[in-house]
Amino acid sequence: MLAPKKRDHALARRQLYLNYGALSLATVLQLQGHETRLIHGEHYTPDATLMQLREFGIFPSRHPIMLSIPSFYALTWAQSFCQLVKRTDPEARVIVGGRWVVGPDPDWLRGLLPEADVLVEGMAEPIIGSLLTSSPDLRKLAAPTPGFTLNHLLVQGHLRYQPSVEASRGCGMGCKFCEERDIKLDRIRAPSELAHSMALVQEQYGGADIHPYLQASMFAANAQWGEQLATTVSELGLNIEWRTESRVDALTPRAVAALARAGLKVVDLGLETASPAQIVAMKKARDPDRYLASASKLLAACRENGVRVKANILLYAGETVNTFEETRSWLDDHASCISGVSVGPVIAYGPPKTADFLLEDWERLGAHPVDPLSKHVSGITHMHLSKDFDSGAAEAASLNLSRRYMDADSYFELKSFSYYPRDYTRADFDQDIERSNLEKLPFRLMARH
Ligand code: SF4
């Protein structure tokens, strides 16, 4: 990305996101016998990244450059990179994938990325080998959760990144704002398979301490599954703390207790809101009371079992002072169970073909786009949420809410668990705070009294 996706400050530029979708494809190619390397653009410029490829002797090449665009925030970077590649070597073949960015409307993307020779719309595991040939198979085929272990050794500088282990794909719970709303949930991988993958990943890191992210849009393990994972983890003698993401009503307290024994240490929970009206507006759940009751039980279970909770909060279309206060008050009541929050206003992602469906719904709720043309240009539409919250007020309220529940210690703990380079220290963090625009930091610097 040319700039971090939320707020641009020195700390945000430290974050590393392993593109585990691209790593899955690299792993398939390697298993098929190809020599493969995965390089992350991170926050380097396109020039610096191309320079890296040259230094490694892999550009120019008769093989294609496969470029994965994981989010619309990476699109401007990808545009510059593709132009640069073609300017430097007009013969180069560029294949672009990234299901969330290419999939919604390939014709729209072609207009923005004319240098791409091939656009791949869906999940590429079943066809990735054919993309190396002169007759690529571009069918959109099903790609269930792979059973293999991601090979992190293929990632340039892999030791800096916390690793990933894929647990399941899809969700299908219907939340209006989410791209996974209609994508059916795969069955979660067998616990013994996941435990063995964790062990293999630790080997890839030379036996060092790792904090894998067990990737799932909705980690939905029951207590029995958790027990089996705890048993296998103990049989293998693993001592690995891991993190995952789920809904507040998808894990029972018994499941949390078992998962904690299996190493679960941090869970990202998509609470989104505690306003009953907003829960319904988002189509997060049909019965808000039941939803919030489940959330309370899960948060208590996490605290009892030593699992840190990071709650994701979404200021939604139609948000009012009243609905915002409902969420704040609920979070206050549960503050002792929460280690941190991630708060932001809802954004419509995608070109007109997919964004319009959201924008029509949100306009009915009283929201309107900040720039009606941005969906055409960037695939990112920021919103004025309501009369109470224009986009500036929504951003200010988001920052205030973040700071209410997070200080520098809790922020560092959560970020360094998964997203900062593995060798990034608290002293580095403190230095970066000094270099940051303090007004943009989502945590408070002083302890509250
Ligand atoms: S539960 Fe989470 S992943 Fe599933 S549709 Fe809702 S927001 Fe998306």
Q: Whose CA is nearest to atom 3 of ligand 1?
A: 217
Name residue 344's beta-bridge partners: 314
Q: Does domain 162-346+385-440 have CATH number 3.80.30.20?
A: yes
The percentage of residues in the chain with a pLDDT greater than 70, rounded to a whole number, is: 99
Tell me if residue 2 falls in helix, strand or coil: coil
For all residues of the chain together, what is the average pLDDT? 96
Q: Residue 191, Cα to own-chain centre: how many angstroms?
A: 23
Q: Which amino acid is at 358?
A: L
Task: Check: CB of residue 74 under 8 Å from CB of residue 43.
Answer: no
In the reported structure, the alpha carbon of residue 24 is separated from the centroid of ligand 1 by a whole-number distance in angstroms of: 22
- 449 has a pLDDT exceeding 70: no
- Nearest CA among 329, 341, 318 for reference residue 389: 318
Q: What is the pTM of this model?
A: 0.96
Report the half-sphere exposure of 66 (CA within 13 A, side-chain side): 21
- 202 has a pLDDT exceeding 50: yes
Q: Residue 5, Cα to own-chain centre: how many angstroms?
A: 11
Look at the block and give the residue holding tokens 């990244």: 49
* Residues 274-285: tens digit of each pLDDT: 999 999 999 999
- pLDDT for res 447: 56
**Does 299 sit in the ligand 1 pocket, CB within 6 Å?**
no
Atom of ligand 1 nearest to the CA of 250: 1
In the reported structure, the alpha carbon of residue 158 is separated from the centroid of ligand 1 by a whole-number distance in angstroms of: 29
Task: Check: CB of residue 436 under 8 Å from CB of residue 9.
Answer: yes
Atom of ligand 1 nearest to the CA of 177: 7
Pocket perturbation via mutation, ligand 1, pick of 218, 271, 283, 312 by most ligand atoms within 8 A of CB: 218
**Does 181 sit in the ligand 1 pocket, CB within 6 Å?**
yes
Q: Report the distance separating Cα 106 and Cα 103, nearest Å.
A: 6
Confidence of residue 26 (pLDDT cuts 50, 70, 90): very high
Pocket perturbation via mutation, ligand 1, pick of 168, 179, 181 by most ligand atoms within 8 A of CB: 181
- 442 has a pLDDT exceeding 60: yes
**Does 247 sit in the ligand 1 pocket, CB within 6 Å?**
yes
Q: Report the distance separating Cα 234 and Cα 241, nearest Å.
A: 13
Q: Which fold has domain 17-132?
A: Rossmann fold (3.40.50)
* Residues 325-364: tens digit of each pLDDT: 999 999 999 999 999 999 999 999 999 999 999 999 999 9
Confidence of residue 158 (pLDDT cuts 50, 70, 90): very high
Domain range list for the chain: 17-132, 162-346+385-440
**Does 180 sit in the ligand 1 pocket, CB within 6 Å?**
yes
Q: Report the distance separating Cα 141 and Cα 127, nearest Å.
A: 8
Atom of ligand 1 nearest to the CA of 173: 5
**Mean pLDDT to the nearest integer, 115-143:** 93
Atom of ligand 1 nearest to the CA of 218: 3
- pLDDT for res 192: 97
- pLDDT for res 2: 80
